[in-house]
Structure 1
Amino acid sequence: MKLLARLALLAGLLLAGGVGVHGRGPLESSLHEAGGNRADLLYVVLFSLPDCPYCVAVRDAYLPALIDDPRFRGRVRIREVSISSPRLLTDFNGDRIPHTDLARRYKVKFAPTVLFLDAHGQPRADALLGGDSVGLYGGYLENRVMQGLAR
């Protein structure tokens, strides 16, 4: 029954065209914290493509759970990078670079890919590649976040 509920949610999100995390619009792409990056933060970075239904599902159905989880509140920053966009973002060093350059830096070749990075851009957990097809993605995502925060 859980699988049917998740599929219904995903279908609704896809029909709605994707509204961002909790209707908040596109995820922020800056990786640099004002006042310096805190060592205790974990950056959960979604690398996405336009018109990618799996990316929409990750962005709208799974990442909001991290924001709402009291175990992660204040410790996790969620960002989105479009692997095909020439738009600029602020990287961990405070430099303005195209989204495509950041994807190349981390060798991201397809979407969705979720990286778990520290405040200096170093990996703290294994990347999560691909989307959800059997309803297990939320568990995989939570495990990676827990792994990243434990390091």
Structure 2
Amino acid sequence: MKRLLVLTVLLAWSTIATAHETKMGDDGLHKQDWFLNSFLDLKDDLAEATKSGKRFAIVWEQKGCPYCADMHVINFADDKLRTWIKDHYVVLQLNLWGSREVTDFDGQVLPEKELARKYRITFTPTVQYFPESVAEMAGKKGADGEVARLPGYFRNGHFLGMFEYVWDKRYAKGQDFQRYIIEKSEARQPSR
């Protein structure tokens, strides 16, 4: 009887774990089927996001990055988190050491690894968030156009919190991300 119970639990656990597995691409990066598959023209990608009523973000990763893997198998495995991001964002995945050619907002064409240097991306994962429209990027180069950056791996609450922070345009109101998180935390606390 114990063996049957153990086998049942293991089977159930493996079924749950399998439901959240990600695919590995030829470049060694974990893939989400809802990530943007584009011609890597950032201006066009931002315009498409805007047209669909969503925000645009770039997630930078690299092969062998354990925190990138965690982002996929922990953060993106959370159905509520993943669904919220999919409903509100167009996410483009770029490779810190990649060689695909990307057309930057300013028209410059660079391999991913050179764009990463231009944007001062030094570790992974890093998520960059951009303004709501192409017009807001006019005259800005590299990372100067981003409205927020999530540098490194964060647990689900803070990870989703940054996406919500940008969606709510708190950066435009001068509110720091840390204050936003504190405000959200206090709002969840029961009244005393």
Q: 1:59 to 1:92 in 2, by over 3 A?
A: farther
Q: Which runs of 5+ in 1 are unaligned?
A: none
- TM-score of the superposition, structure 2-length normalised? 0.54
Matched, 1:146 2:164: yes
The structure whose residues are more often helix, as a share, is 2
The structure with higher relative contact order (CA 8 Å, sep 6+) is 1
Task: State the TM-score, normalized to the length of structure 1.
Answer: 0.65
- After TM superposition, the structure 1 = structure 2 runs for residues 23-34 of structure 1, keeping only pairs within 5 Å, are 24=33, 28=37, 30=40, 31-33=42-44
Could you say what the CA RMSD is over the residues aligned between the two structures, in angstroms?
3.6
SS at match of 2:58: strand
Aligned match of 1:131:
153
What residue number does 2:83 align with? 68
Say whether residues 1:55 and 2:64 are aligned partners.
no
Higher strand proportion: 1
Match status 1:92 vs 2:105: yes
Report the CA distance shift for 1:34/1:81 in structure 2 as closer, same or farther (over 3 A).
closer
Q: Aligned letter for 2:83?
A: D
Deviations 1:65-86 (A, max 9, x none): 55512x861x311111111112
Gaps of 5+ in 2: 1-12, 138-142, 170-192
**Residue 148 (structure 1) shift:** 0.8
Q: Matched residues in 2 for 1:35 and 1:130: separation?
A: 23
Identity %: 20
SS at structure 2 position matched to 1:51: coil
Q: Deviations 1:92-139 (Å, cap 9, x if unpaired)?
A: 3455321112211221111111122224372223x222225xxxx111
Give secondary structure in 2 for the equivalent of 1:50: coil
